[in-house]
Amino acid sequence: MKIKKYSIPESTVIYKPKSPFIARVISTTALTEAESSDEVRNIILDVSGSGIHYIEGQSIGIIPPGERETGKSHKARLYSIASARTGDDGSSTTATICVKRVYNEDNMAEAKVPGIASNYLCDLKPGDSVALIGPNGRRFLLPDDDSTDLILIAVGTGIAPFRAFIRHIFLEKGFWNGRIRLFYGIKNAMEALFLNDQNDDIGQYMTQETFEAFRALSRVHNEDEEKGYVQHKLAEHKQEVWEMICRGNFAVYICGLKGMEEGVDEVFTTLAKQQGLDWPTMKAKFIKKGQWNTEVY
- Is residue 284 domain-shared with residue 163, that is, in the same domain? yes
Give just the sign of the alpha carbon dihedral 196, 176, 150, 290.
negative
Domain holding 201: CATH number?
A: 3.40.50.80
- Residue 271 is assigned to a structural domain of this protein: yes
- Is residue 154 domain-shared with residue 283, that is, in the same domain? yes
Q: Which of 110, 135, 160 marks a domain boundary?
A: 135
- Is residue 217 domain-shared with residue 82, that is, in the same domain? no
- Helix, strand or coil, per DSSP, at residue 243: helix
- Is residue 118 domain-shared with residue 156, that is, in the same domain? no
pLDDT of 220 reads 59
- Is residue 193 domain-shared with residue 286, that is, in the same domain? yes
- Residue 210 is assigned to a structural domain of this protein: yes
Task: Compute, in degrees rounded to 10, the torsion defined by CA atoms 268, 271, 273, 277.
Answer: -80
- Residue 26 is assigned to a structural domain of this protein: yes
pLDDT of 1 reads 81
Q: Which of 87, 107, 135 marks a domain boundary?
A: 135
Catalytic residues: 79-80, 255, 295, 297
- Residue 12 is assigned to a structural domain of this protein: no
Domain holding 122: CATH number?
A: 2.40.30.10
- Is residue 173 domain-shared with residue 259, that is, in the same domain? yes
Ranges of residues in the chain whose predicted pLDDT is under 70: 105-111, 220-225
- Is residue 63 domain-shared with residue 186, that is, in the same domain? no
What are the residue ranges of helices labelled H in the chain?
116-122, 160-167, 230-236, 238-247, 260-274, 279-289
Question: Which residues span the domain enclosing 129?
Answer: 21-135
pLDDT tens string 138-171 = 999 999 999 999 999 999 999 999 999 999 999 9
Quote the DSSP letter at residue 274.
Answer: H
- Is residue 122 domain-shared with residue 41, that is, in the same domain? yes
pLDDT of 221 reads 60
- Residue 9 is assigned to a structural domain of this protein: no
- Is residue 161 domain-shared with residue 127, that is, in the same domain? no
- Residue 140 is assigned to a structural domain of this protein: no
pLDDT of 36 reads 83
Please, which residues bridge with residue 19 across strands? Answer: 16
Q: Which of 135, 164, 197 marks a domain boundary?
A: 135
- Residue 7 is assigned to a structural domain of this protein: no
- Is residue 178 domain-shared with residue 252, that is, in the same domain? yes
- Is residue 153 domain-shared with residue 272, that is, in the same domain? yes
- Residue 4 is assigned to a structural domain of this protein: no
Task: Compute, in degrees rounded to 10, the torsion defined by CA atoms 60, 63, 69, 72.
Answer: 100
The total number of structural domains that make up the chain: 2
Peptide bond into 135 cis (omega under 30): yes
Judge residue 93's burial from the number of C-beta atoms within 10 Å of its C-beta, 0-12 exposed, 13-18 middle, 19 or more buried. Answer: middle
- Is residue 188 domain-shared with residue 281, that is, in the same domain? yes
pLDDT of 183 reads 97
